[in-house]
Structure formats: C-alpha cells, structure tokens
C-alpha cells in the first residue's frame, strides 16, 4: 500500500471499492481485466466526477486519458463528441480493436486538435461556436492559427523592443546619412527601429533580433544594416553588422551567405565609399 500509494484512494478502507476510489459495482469488471491500471484510472476518474460512464465512454477515456490536455478539451465537449470528431478527421474507428498504427495516427490527430483548441483559447475565440470548435479541415485551420499566434507574439515583442531601445529610431536619420548606399541593383540602409531589426531576424531566421544586437545598435557600438534588392526594397535579403567602416559580419537567411563572391565585392566597394576612397550614389 505504501509503495503503490499513487493508485490507492484510502489505505484504511474496509473494502476494495473504497480502497481504490471506485464504485463498488466496478470492482468485478476491474478484476476481470486483471487489475488493469489504465482502466483503474478511468474508474477513479468516474467516481471523482460522480459520473456513471457508458461502456463507450469507459473505452474512450481509456484510450485518450494519457493525452495531457484532455481535461481542457472536455471543457468544451463530451468525451463521445470528441471521439466522433477524431474518428471523422482521422478516418479510424476508435476502440479496443485498433492496431498499433491506427492508435498512433489517432493520437497524432488528438494532439493536433488539442494544440488547435489551446491556440483558439489563447487568442480569445468563442468556442461555443461549433465552426471554431469542430473545423472541417483541422490541419489547415491549425496551421493558420500557428501563424496568428506567432504574429501576436511577434507584435508584442516588437512593441517591447521599441520601448526598450528607442534610440534606434531616434537616431535613424543621422545613421542613414552616413551609411546609405545604392547602385543599379542594391541598396544598403540602416534599420529604422528596433522592431524592424526583430522582423529582419524573424524573416531570415537568424539571431539579429536578439537583445545583444539591439543594445549595440541602440548605444552606437555597432549598427545593423540591411542590404536589399533595389527593385524589392521591403524584402529582407542580407543583414550586415558594421562598426564604423569595418564590416563585422554579414548573413542571409538561415545564416547562409548567398551569392558570396558578388556580395563580398559589393561590400568592398561599399566600405571604400564610406572611407571616401570611392564615390557612392546617395539619395
């Protein structure tokens, strides 16, 4: 009793039902299952909820109970409605006779649905609306919510960094006067704000949006510059860190260096312009 206290409801009980925390009529079915602990957990749940589960409910709880977010999902629907929805989107019949592959596929859909419900709650959607609660195309709606959640997080982060690093925006014009460059194909300019640096890092999947780079730019220790195609100036391409006239590093998406030889030559020309040994076209 002491060792398995996690399964015991009342170690001093005078009968098996009280000892295990289940209804008396559930003792024999549990015996017939040779004391199966997964069934025991369902029966304990039943007693704690003061419910009386049907055979279908018992079996469904038994299959789904190891999913950690089950209780959250059941705030919005019954276990049977959940079962029927997962059957619909998975194409599998949920029950004791499922093969291992079918079980794995069902659980994958359950996890995706749980993630979907969590994001809907996080974004404040009304889950009494059945269109939101039971989407026809779960994967598509799930993926849309991922983008929406990421945008909310990104917007919050951008507001935060603009408040913490205001001098990036404040001194933009002066930094631009020094570092702006263009030729027939490219432009180079400094970041307009801390939020723009965060966007650059998020879009190109590198670390320039971190606090260390923002702090250095904000204090003038080094500056973050954007190299972009002249014909598509809003699309991030190459990110540069510069200290005075020394380029400390440059990277494109995923910390790679696209068109390296050409960009290296362009940056040599750019540095020469900054030093006054060549003429830059400015605007």
Query: What does the H/E/C string look like for the chain?
Result: CCCCHHHCCCCCCCCHHHHHCCCHHHHHHHHHCCCCHHHHHHHHHHHHCCCCCCHHHHHHHHHHCCCCCHHHHCCCCCHHHHHHHHHHHHCCCCCCCCCHHHHHHHHHHHHHHHHHHHHHHHCCCCCCCHHHHCCCCHHHHHHHHHHHHHHHHHHHHHHHHHHHCCHHHHCHHHHHHHHCEECCCEEEEECCCHHHHHHHHHHHCCHHHCHHHHHHHHHCCCEEEEEEEHHHCCCCCEEEEEECCEEEEEECHHHCCCCHHHHHHHHHHHHHHHCCCCCCECC
Taking all residues of the chain, what is their mean pLDDT, rounded to a whole number? 92
**6-64 pLDDT, tens per residue?**
788 888 899 999 999 999 999 999 999 998 989 999 999 999 999 999 999 999 999 99
pLDDT tier, 282 (very low <50, low <70, confident <90, very high otherwise): very low
**167-209 pLDDT, tens per residue?**
999 999 999 999 999 999 999 999 999 999 999 998 999 999 9
| pLDDT in the model for residue 3 | 62
């Amino acid at each position: 009793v002491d060792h398995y206290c996690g399964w015991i409801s009342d170690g001093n009980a005078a009968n098996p039902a009280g000892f295990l925390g289940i209804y008396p009529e559930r003792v024999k079915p549990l015996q017939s299952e040779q004391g199966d602990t997964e069934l025991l957990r369902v029966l304990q749940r039943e007693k704690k909820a003061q419910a009386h589960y049907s055979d279908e409910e018992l079996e469904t709880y038994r299959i789904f109970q190891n999913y950690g977010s089950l209780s959250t999902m059941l705030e919005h629907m019954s276990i049977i409605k959940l079962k029927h929805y997962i059957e619909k989107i998975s194409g599998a019949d949920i029950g004791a006779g499922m093969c291992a592959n079918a079980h794995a596929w069902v659980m994958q859909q359950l996890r995706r649905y749980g993630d979907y419900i969590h994001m809907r709650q996080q974004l404040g959607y009304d889950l009494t609306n059945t269109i939101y609660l039971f989407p026809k195309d779960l994967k598509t709606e799930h993926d849309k919510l991922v983008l929406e959640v990421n945008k909310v997080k990104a917007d919050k982060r951008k507001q935060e960094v603009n408040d913490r690093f205001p001098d990036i925006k404040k001194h933009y014009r002066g930094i631009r006067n020094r570092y702006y460059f263009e030729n027939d194909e490219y432009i180079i300019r400094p970041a307009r704000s801390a939020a723009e640096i965060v966007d650059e890092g998020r879009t190109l999947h590198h670390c320039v949006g971190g606090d260390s780079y923002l702090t250095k730019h904000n204090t003038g220790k080094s500056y973050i510059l954007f190299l972009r195609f002249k014909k598509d100036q809003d699309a991030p391409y190459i990110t540069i860190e510069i200290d005075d006239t020394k380029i400390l590093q440059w990277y494109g998406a995923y910390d790679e260096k696209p068109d390296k030889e050409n960009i290296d030559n362009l940056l040599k020309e750019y540095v020469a312009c900054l030093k006054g040994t060549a003429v830059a076209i400015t605007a």
